[in-house]
A and B are shown apart, each in its own frame.
Chain A
Amino acid sequence: DTEVTQTPKHLVMGMTNKKSLKCEQHMGHRAMYWYKQKAKKPPELMFVYSYEKLSINESVPSRFSPECPNSSLLNLHLHALQPEDSALYLCASSPGLAASYEQYFGPGTRLTVT
Chain B
Amino acid sequence: GENVEQHPSTLSVQEGDSAVIKCTYSDSASNYFPWYKQELGKRPQLIIDIRSNVGEKKDQRIAVTLNKTAKHFSLHITETQPEDSAVYFCAAIAYNNNDMRFGAGTRLTVKP
Determine if chain A interacts with chain B.
yes
The stretch from A14-22, A63-71, A72-80, A104-112 touching chain B is A104-112
Interface residue from A31, A50, A103 paired with B46 (Cβ < 8 Å): A103
Residue A2, interface by CB 8 Å: no
The answer for the CA separation of A33 and B49 in the assembled complex, in Å, is 19
Q: Assuming A90-B43, A99-B96, A102-B49, is B104 touching A42 (CB within 8 A)?
A: yes
B105: which A residues are within 8 A, CB to CB? 40-42
Establish whether residues A45 and B34, one from each chain, have CB atoms under 8 Å apart when the complex forms.
no
Write the chain A residue with the least CB distance to B91: A42
The answer for the CA separation of A55 and B46 in the assembled complex, in Å, is 23
How big is chain A's contact interface, by range?
20 to 34
CB distance from A95 to the nearest CB of B (A): 12
Interface residue from A40, A44, A50, A98 paired with B93 (Cβ < 8 Å): A98
Establish whether residues A98 and B100, one from each chain, have CB atoms under 8 Å apart when the complex forms.
yes
B49: which A residues are within 8 A, CB to CB? 102
The A35-70 residues at the B interface (CB cut-off 8 A) are 40-45, 48, 50, 55-56, 58
Q: Mark B9-46, 1 if CB is under 8 A from A, else 0.
A: 00000000000000000000001101000000011111
14 more A-B residue pairs beyond the given contacts A45-B99, A50-B98, A103-B100, with a C-beta to C-beta distance below 8 A: A41-B104, A44-B102, A48-B98, A56-B99, A98-B98, A98-B100, A99-B31, A99-B93, A99-B94, A99-B95, A102-B49, A103-B46, A106-B43, A107-B43
